[in-house]
Structure 1
Amino acid sequence: MAPRRISVSETSRPVLPRHARLKFDETRQRWVILAPERVLAPDEIAVEILQLCDGARDVAAIIDALAVRYTADRAEIGRDVVAMLQDLADKGFLTEARETTP
């Protein structure tokens, strides 16, 4: 089954699809997203955002956490986070978390 593409908003709960992993690459000495036949090397801020994309938090919670951590304007961070996550989703590196039933 192909990962579901998403339109990222503050209510989205993004997560890496099953075929992709965020991993620290010892050889490159940097974080990478590994996917079949593809490797993406996100910058430090993108890595921090991706580490918060656990499928439990929505984008609004991620933005709130970053705004507090960096004592920055929430609206500005929000625009940047949504744009970055949408770019990754468009490239197939993010999908929407599925609802789980207990």
Structure 2
Amino acid sequence: MLRHDRVRGTDLLLMPERVVVLRGSAGDVLRLCDGRREVGAIVAELAERHPGASVAAEVPEFLGRLREEGWIR
């Protein structure tokens, strides 16, 4: 479950027996993981929001690491 912590001003990924503090735009990426969008659609959305950012390389890698950890499917 993704939540925003107003006190810390950051996003949190809440899992059974674990809380992950998300930094930078990690929360923005995870908000787009809604079960309907594929990675390409997520990359396209973020590329539109953040022109010039290297989302095409970084987002698939980030999501791959989260899958490996078992934090997302």
TM-score by length of 2: 0.87
Q: Which amino acid aligns with 1:93?
A: W
Q: Which runs of 5+ in 1 are unaligned?
A: 1-20, 96-102
Aligned counterparts of 1:66 and 1:29: Cα–Cα separation in 2: 21
Q: Which runs of 5+ in 2 are unaligned?
A: none
Query: Which of 44, 50, 70 is matched with 2:50 structurally?
Result: 70
Report 1 or 2 for greater relative contact order, CA contacts < 8 Å, sequence distance ≥ 6: 1
Write out aligned runs for 1:82-101 (5 A). 82-95=60-73
Bigger Cα Rg: 1
Question: Which is helix-richer, 1 or 2?
Answer: 2
TM-score by length of 1: 0.64
| Percent identity of equivalent pairs | 34
Which structure 1 residue ranges, 4+ long, deviate > 4 Å from structure 2? Answer: none
